[in-house]
Chain A
Amino acid sequence: MLSQHLLVLQVVVPLLSAPLCALLPLASPGKYFSNKLAWLIATVASLISFVISILLAIEVSKHGYISYELGGWTPPWGIEYRIDHLSAYVLLIVSGIASITMLAAQKSIEKEIAHEKISLFYSAFLLCLTGLLGIVATGDAFNIFVFLEISSLSSYVLIALGNNRKALTASYQYLIMGTIGATFILIGVGLLYMLTGTLNLVDLQQKIPELLDSRALHAAFAFFTVGISLKLALLPLHLWLPNAYAYAPSMITVFLSATATKVSLYVLFRFFFGLFSNEVTFGEFHLDKILLPLSILAILIASAVAIFQDNIKRMFAYSSVAQIGYMTLGIGLATKSGSVAGMLHLFNHAIIKGGIFLAMACIVIRTNSVQLSNFAGLGKRMPWTMAALLLLGLGLIGVPFTAGFISKWYLLIAALDQRSWLAAAVIVGGSLLAIIYVWKVIEYAYLKTSSKTIDSDTASTKEAPLQMLIPLWLLVAASIYFGFETSFSFGFANTAINALFK
């Protein structure tokens, strides 16, 4: 009985937990107690979402897809929730990272967020999770826009809660660019509705091939491309990302870096292959001609800029822009194997980057800073955190036996299959640039001793709390496990893309 409603529960559980967290301070007298309870609710809700998405993934691998009619209205009239392999894969990533984030969050949040705002903070986090899960679960084009705005609005709030006042301007800049992006997507949805009279994705997919001559369809495609690229932070439209990630509260950077851009990439897959089909996207509209050069530029420019950053969180934010370039490069190759590799990199990068920012959170909770100079000698004082950062850094570079190697290897093969020598060279070159910026941190942490006179504060720096170290090492273990055992990560991505491509 319950299993029929799993798909909608995936979205409803975090949605209903959010107001619960927000109302807590009114109900309970002791502030400390209500903050703890809010954390517990958020954690349990995230874990339930994760369990549901595992059950859904099992269900999908048996039946191919699951459809849920909201309110009992049959599609295309009613709103349909529909997940296939692609959606189940992304749901797993989003809810999994949310669980890890919440398990580790408590201490870091207590340190970084004002006490009277903590329960509201968890409420905003749950709304953000709702939005991200909703985008992936829904089968309705307008619903995607609404969930996109739910997740975006709550992430603007979360970013603005950062301690540095630059968090405010970063959040504002994200708000402006994010709203423009979402409005562009809304225009695209409107034009499609005008042409077809439907908003259901499956229905749209069947009606679009007859309309290829229509100018309005071309305009809709263009609006989608720009709108999603803004949300995705594809290179010339990435300007909101580095500051937003650098100045957001540590735990929010962990969550957003591993999920927000990934879900945008899912929307790109869904619209360009689910809605328009790969033949139309590449054959008629030649998306690859734009996507490939921009991806190459993203990898090279963002990696190069990352090298010169002194704020390490900002450095890894630029590295995220470069890694998004890898994912879109896979799509830009215009082949099935390229898209599979892009999808696989989405999965692996979510684990690796989530872990790296979690290590940053561990460092912030003990030393209050992520400036490069602050890393001197940290290898001795926080050995477990720095060892995790080292292993994840190797994954980011793409060293064999890490998850990062697997996806870059598949990308490389896909590029060579297409005889796209430039793309292949850039994949390797980007990794070399990654060695430089990862090495910079490692060198400071292990080989330099603190030049400043050690005051009592830094001398007493000890290892991060166990509650943060365990989730961190879970991610490290996952990043190594998926470097050996690829039958799930590659197999699922492969099935997802095969079902999507014609």
Chain B
Amino acid sequence: MIADFYNYWVAIILMMIGFYIVISDANLIKKMIGITIFQTSVFILFISMSKVEGGTAPILIDEVTLYSNPLPHVLILTAIVVGVATTALGLAIIARIYREYGTVDENIIHAKDEEEYEDSDEDLS
């Protein structure tokens, strides 16, 4: 029963690993890694469901009649491009955060923001 659906288990396990990293780790770069694993697990989910048993890769040749479904491959190609753009943008923002704050640790960034807030309070009073 479990072995029959092993592709879904792989996708779900990867998804949870990625999700856990995003939630638990304070390092912004590691969060990006988590997001990437999370997205990739969904790509695997799509690709594995397009597999037709006994079917070959969806390339038109004369002697073959049974193909895997090509549509999810195409969809995921688009989703991969979106994923790459997200990762690139995320890393670019992290690079600027590092330049402004001197750290990529979320907790330290929050602490610095709090300090700034208290300072500005004193300014007003």
Contacts and interface: CB of A to CB of B under 8 A. Distances in A.
A161 to B, nearest CB: 10
B42 A187 contact: yes
A187 B109 contact: no
Given A142-B75, A153-B85, A172 B90 contact: yes
A176 B96 CA distance: 16
A186 interface: yes
Interface string B92-108: 01101100110000000
Interface in B58-105: 71-72, 75, 78-79, 82, 85-86, 89-90, 93-94, 96-97, 100-101
A200 B79 CA distance: 18
B28 interface: yes
Most buried by B among A142, A157, A371: A142
Interface residues of B, number: 30
A176 B27 CA distance: 13
A183 B38 contact: yes
Interface in B18-66: 19, 22, 28, 31, 35, 38-39, 42, 45-46, 49
B89 A153 contact: yes
Contacts of A194: 49
A183 B42 contact: yes
Interface string A116-158: 0000000000000000000000000010011001000100110
A373 B19 CA distance: 41
B90 A183 contact: no
Contacts of A440: none
Contacts of B79: 145, 186
Contact of B89 (A142, A146, A156, A169): A156
A146 B93 contact: no
B111 interface: no
B93 A190 contact: no
A487 B96 CA distance: 49
A95 to B, nearest CB: 24
A157 B35 CA distance: 18
A183 to B, nearest CB: 6
Given A180-B35, A187-B42, A190-B46, A172 B93 contact: yes
Contacts of B89: 153, 156-157, 175
A169 B38 contact: no
A186 B72 CA distance: 12
A165 B86 contact: no
Contacts of A169: 97, 109, 113
B1 interface: no
Given A172-B94, A175-B89, A175-B93, A183 B109 contact: no
Given A193-B71, A194-B49, 14 more contacts: A149-B85, A149-B86, A168-B96, A168-B97, A168-B100, A169-B109, A171-B93, A176-B90, A179-B39, A180-B38, A183-B39, A187-B45, A371-B124, A373-B124
Interface of A: 142, 145-146, 149, 153, 156-157, 160, 165-166, 168-169, 171-172, 175-176, 179-180, 183, 186-187, 190, 193-194, 371, 373
